[in-house]
């Protein structure tokens, strides 16, 4: 008995095809994976995107991400099927570590990530936590305002800039 693992496969379908044809290819691939004995956990359709470099003289592709639970012995069969299909430009299959899967599930549960893929028109970014500033630092910042906008003069002995205030 072989141990089952969670795998993820991302493949790029030729975007020159019509939407029903792309859906048929996705259905064909997922049916093939499930017929081999894998349980499909997730199918994410990322949509049409511009490729980083041309593949077979194609500049756009339809990205699909499939997560499934399978035995390691069927992975070469899936890989061979994806290589032989002419409408699939590229593919990548990875074993999904448990820690990464737990992290993704936790991020979805917390509401940090609604999808695994970034949006097509906007990219999601991770916000950095705001730096806390104490009340003493804010008073120091407020008191160190420059009164005039003239260039500062350099002190001859230390070489440091000296602020000069104009009498009004």
What CATH number does residue 12 fall under? 3.30.70.60
Flag whether 57 is in a domain: yes
Please indicate, yes or no, if residue 162 is contained in any of the structural domains: no
Does residue 56 lie within any of the structural domains?
yes
Based on the structure, what is the number of domains in the chain? Answer: 1
Residue 124 forms part of a structural domain: no
Provide the phi-psi class of 47: left if phi over 0, else alpha when psi is between -120 and 50, else beta.
left
**CA geometry: angle at 28 spanning 27 and 30, to 5°?**
65
Domain assignment present for 160: no
Domain range spanning residue 79? 5-110
Phi/psi of residue 163, nearest 5 degrees: -85, 135
Higher pLDDT, 137 or 94: 94
Amino acid 16: pLDDT: 93
DSSP calls for 110-130: HTS-S-SSPPSSS---PPPPP
Report pLDDT for 101: 83
- What is the model's pTM? 0.63
Residue 113: the pLDDT is: 59
Residue 132 placed within a domain? no
Asked if the structure places residue 103 within a domain, the reply is: yes
């Amino acid at each position: 008995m072989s141990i089952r693992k969670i795998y993820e496969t991302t493949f790029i379908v030729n975007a020159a095809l019509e939407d029903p044809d792309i859906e048929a290819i996705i259905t064909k691939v997922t049916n093939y994976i499930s017929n081999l004995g894998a349980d499909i956990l997730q199918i994410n359709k990322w949509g049409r995107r511009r490729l980083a470099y041309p593949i077979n003289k194609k500049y756009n592709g339809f990205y699909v991400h499939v997560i499934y639970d399978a035995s390691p012995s069927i992975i070469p069969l899936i890989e061979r099927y994806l290589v032989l299909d002419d409408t699939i430009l590229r593919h990548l299959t990875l074993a999904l570590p448990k820690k990464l899967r737990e992290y993704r599930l936790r991020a979805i549960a917390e509401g940090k990530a609604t999808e695994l893929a970034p949006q097509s028109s906007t990219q999601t970014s991770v916000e950095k936590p705001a730096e806390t500033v104490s009340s003493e630092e804010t008073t120091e910042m407020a008191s160190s305002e420059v009164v005039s906008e003239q260039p500062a003069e350099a002190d001859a002995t230390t070489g440091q800039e000296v602020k000069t205030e104009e009498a009004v």
